[in-house]
């Protein structure tokens, strides 16, 4: 007999109530000394759901007394009969995760840590929400990415049936908390650096017609690995003057406490950027100073050279650019162009026009 299998407590075994009385009478009528062969024995618990329930004697509302299966994690109790344990298992599957318990009735999953140790993996809803926020931020997904029934069905069917929909409000709060946590970690890392920091900065235009100024820091970490981190991404709701550019960058540096640890700053060749260098020089924030402080974008210089050279052949390039725009501006024209390519055994394709701020876009268009 397996000692690990649980039994009904003495006096509470419901199976003893319906024993065959004729067998009991026959057993009691046997003479002393004769061999007695037991005809029945207390039925043991074979289902593993009984690890989560206790058998208790309770008085039912109809003034009858009987054994009940009481949950070990919540006040609920259920009937205990020989009809099966399906209702107990259904309660266990809902109750145990809600109370942070591990379902030992199923095979557990193992989690391997970076240090080589292995532990039992436990689903944590808060950790799942944080991972979802990190995924949205890294892949530029919409903020309501997790608030979708079909995404929930995908995760439930393929990965984890305990996953629940995450609202956009919750995701927004998690994104703000994730940003604050990583910003604090970056501030602590920069405070302990023993090297200088090189900056790059540029102004970007969003499709919403909003301008942003991005400040990026480049430095060697404690393991002497070249590291690049975005320090600030601030809206530019005012004119792009030298004073405004200087004030935004200084505000970012003061936030991280690295105003006096800057080695150089790289800007493009816009007039406002060149004028702002004089303001940085007056503030005396550079540890190198002089010629090494202001670096210019090499790609921007190459683009200026290329654009100047393309002006010599602009008449021919303009005809090609106009033809591409003429075909792509009308759906019937584009379909006719596709049929023409098919008849001549050519692969139909859609052409893109070039843009002046990318010197290689003209090459790709041609």
Asked if residue 8 is part of any domain, the answer here is: no
Residues 214 and 158 grouped into a single domain: no
List per-residue pLDDT tens for the chain, 366 residues long. Answer: 444 444 444 433 443 444 344 444 444 444 444 444 445 555 556 677 777 888 787 666 555 556 788 888 888 888 776 667 778 888 877 787 776 665 554 555 666 667 767 667 777 888 899 999 999 999 999 999 999 889 888 988 888 888 888 999 999 999 999 999 999 999 999 988 888 899 999 888 887 788 999 999 999 988 889 999 999 999 988 888 999 999 999 999 999 988 888 888 888 888 888 888 888 888 777 666 666 788 888 888 888 888 888 888 888 888 888 888 888 888 888 888 889 888 888 888 878 888 877 778 888 888
Sign, CA dihedral 31-33-35-38, equals: positive
pLDDT at 253: 92
pLDDT at 45: 62
pLDDT at 123: 79
Kindly list the distances between the CA atom of residue 210 and the CA atoms of 6, 72, 203, 271, in Å, as whole numbers in the listed order: 69, 58, 10, 21
Tell how far CA 261 is from the center of its chain. 34
Quote the CA–CA distance of 90 and 4 in Å, as a whole number.
Answer: 23
pLDDT at 13: 41
The count of structural domains within the chain is 4
Q: Which domain-ending residue is among 65, 98, 131? A: 98
Residues 318 and 280 grouped into a single domain: no
pLDDT at 309: 87
Asked if residue 191 is part of any domain, the answer here is: no
Asked if residue 276 is part of any domain, the answer here is: yes
Residues 291 and 324 grouped into a single domain: no
pLDDT at 209: 82
Three-class DSSP category at 122: coil
Asked if residue 301 is part of any domain, the answer here is: no
Residues 204 and 286 grouped into a single domain: yes
Domain with 261, as residue range(s), is 196-296
Q: Which domain-ending residue is among 266, 296, 326? A: 296
Asked if residue 105 is part of any domain, the answer here is: no
Residues 57 and 85 grouped into a single domain: yes
Asked if residue 257 is part of any domain, the answer here is: yes
Residues 283 and 348 grouped into a single domain: no
- In Å, the largest CA–CA distance within the chain is 124
Residues 143 and 228 grouped into a single domain: no
Quote the CA–CA distance of 270 and 357 in Å, as a whole number.
Answer: 13
pLDDT at 2: 47
- The model's pTM is 0.58
CB hemisphere CA count around 67 (13 angstroms): 18
Residues 213 and 279 grouped into a single domain: yes
Residues 203 and 155 grouped into a single domain: no
Residues 84 and 130 grouped into a single domain: no
Residues 273 and 214 grouped into a single domain: yes
CB 76 within 8 A of CB 66: no
Residues 200 and 286 grouped into a single domain: yes
């Amino acid at each position: 007999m397996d000692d690990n299998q649980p039994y009904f407590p003495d006096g509470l075994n419901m199976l003893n109530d319906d024993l065959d009385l004729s067998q009991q009478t026959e057993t009691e009528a046997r003479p002393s000394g004769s061999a007695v062969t037991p005809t029945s024995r207390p039925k043991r618990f074979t289902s593993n759901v009984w690890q989560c329930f206790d058998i208790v004697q309770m008085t039912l509302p109809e003034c009858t007394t009987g054994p009940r299966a009481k949950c070990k994690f919540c006040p609920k109790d259920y009937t205990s009969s020989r009809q099966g344990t399906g209702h107990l298992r259904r309660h266990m599957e809902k109750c145990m995760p809600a109370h942070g318990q591990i379902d030992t009735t199923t095979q557990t999953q193992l989690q391997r840590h970076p240090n080589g140790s292995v532990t039992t993996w436990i689903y944590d809803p808060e950790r799942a929400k944080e991972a979802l926020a990190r995924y949205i931020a890294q892949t530029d997904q919409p903020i309501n990415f997790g608030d979708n029934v079909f995404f929930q069905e995908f995760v439930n069917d393929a990965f984890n049936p305990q996953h629940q929909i995450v609202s956009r409000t919750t995701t927004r709060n998690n994104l703000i908390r994730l940003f604050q946590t990583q910003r604090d970690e970056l501030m602590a890392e920069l405070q302990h650096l023993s090297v200088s920091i090189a900056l790059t900065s540029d102004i970007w235009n969003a499709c919403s017609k909003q301008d942003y100024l991005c400040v990026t820091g480049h430095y060697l970490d404690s393991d002497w690995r070249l590291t690049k981190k975005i320090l600030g991404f601030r809206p530019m709701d005012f004119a792009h003057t030298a004073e405004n550019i200087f004030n935004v960058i200084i505000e970012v540096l003061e936030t991280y406490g690295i105003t006096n640890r800057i080695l150089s700053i790289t800007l493009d060749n816009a007039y406002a950027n060149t004028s702002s260098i004089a303001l940085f020089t007056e503030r005396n924030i550079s540890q190198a100073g002089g010629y090494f402080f202001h670096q210019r974008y090499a790609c921007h210089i190459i683009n200026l050279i290329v654009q100047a050279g393309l002006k010599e052949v602009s008449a021919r390039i303009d005809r090609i650019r106009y033809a591409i725009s003429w075909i792509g501006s009308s759906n019937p024209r584009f379909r006719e162009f596709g049929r023409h390519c098919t008849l001549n055994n050519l692969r139909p394709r859609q052409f893109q026009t070039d843009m002046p701020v990318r010197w290689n876009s003209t090459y790709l268009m041609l």
